[in-house]
Amino acid sequence: MRRFVAVLLAVVGMTASFTGCLKRHVPKGWYEDAIAYYQDGFNNNWSNIDPERHLNVSNEQRNPAIKFGYLLKDLDGDGAEELLIGIIEPSGATKFTDVIVYHYDLGEYDLLSGGEGYYIYLCNGDVLRVDSWYGSETQSKYMRYDSSDSTFPYVTEGNYAPMRFELTPF
């Protein structure tokens, strides 16, 4: 009997593994609470800041003269949307200050953040260009999001141009 149970468990385990039943999935709508948090922050001068959350708030975001919005975009083709926070401007490529992802252990997580001279641009091919300034020198790095291990590996080949997106205002 023990052998039968052991074989049965092994077969069920292998079947579940091969069919993707054991694969971790991102909960649908995971970003709704993060959007509400940012909406409340922009509306109430960030009196709601919670240091326990894994969401950053830059000085730029605290400036009421700068208007922010968000974009939901599946950056790595896994079927789950990532949340990008950006500056609403009348022209030019959209400047993003935060890329918030769903982390399997932490939930919502601001995995890539910037602002105040450090911006993130979404380019063709869902490649991110991260610009940073060091004195008068601009440094650009290109990367692509990989949700399997919550990283942004560098992209070294290809021509990627920052694009403009219509953001949903907060």
Q: Which residues of the chain have pLDDT under 70?
A: 1-24
pLDDT digits (tens, 9 = 90+) for 21-56: 445 688 899 999 999 999 999 999 999 999 889 999
Q: If you count DSSP H runs as helices and E runs as strands, how many of each does the chain have, helices first?
A: 2, 8
Work out the angle at residue 86's Cα, subtended by the Cα atoms of residues 41 and 94, and round it to the nearest 5 degrees: 160
Residues in the chain: 170
Tell me whether residue 156 is exposed, middle or buried, using C-beta atoms within 10 angstroms of its C-beta: 0 to 12, 13 to 18, 19 or more.
exposed
* pLDDT of the residue at 2: 53
CB atoms within 10 A of CB 140: 11
pTM across the whole model: 0.82
What are the start-end ranges of the H helices in 2-47? Answer: 2-19, 32-43
Hey, where are the domains in the chain?
25-169
pLDDT on residue 91: 94
Q: How far apart are CA 120 and CA 113, in angstroms?
A: 8
pLDDT at 129: 96
- In order of 1, 21, 23, 24, 108, the CA distances from 12 in angstroms are 16, 10, 15, 17, 32
Q: Write down the pLDDT at residue 1.
A: 55
What are the two backbone dihedrals, phi and then psi, of residue 96, each rounded to the nearest 5 degrees? -100, 145
What residue has token string 């091969």?
18
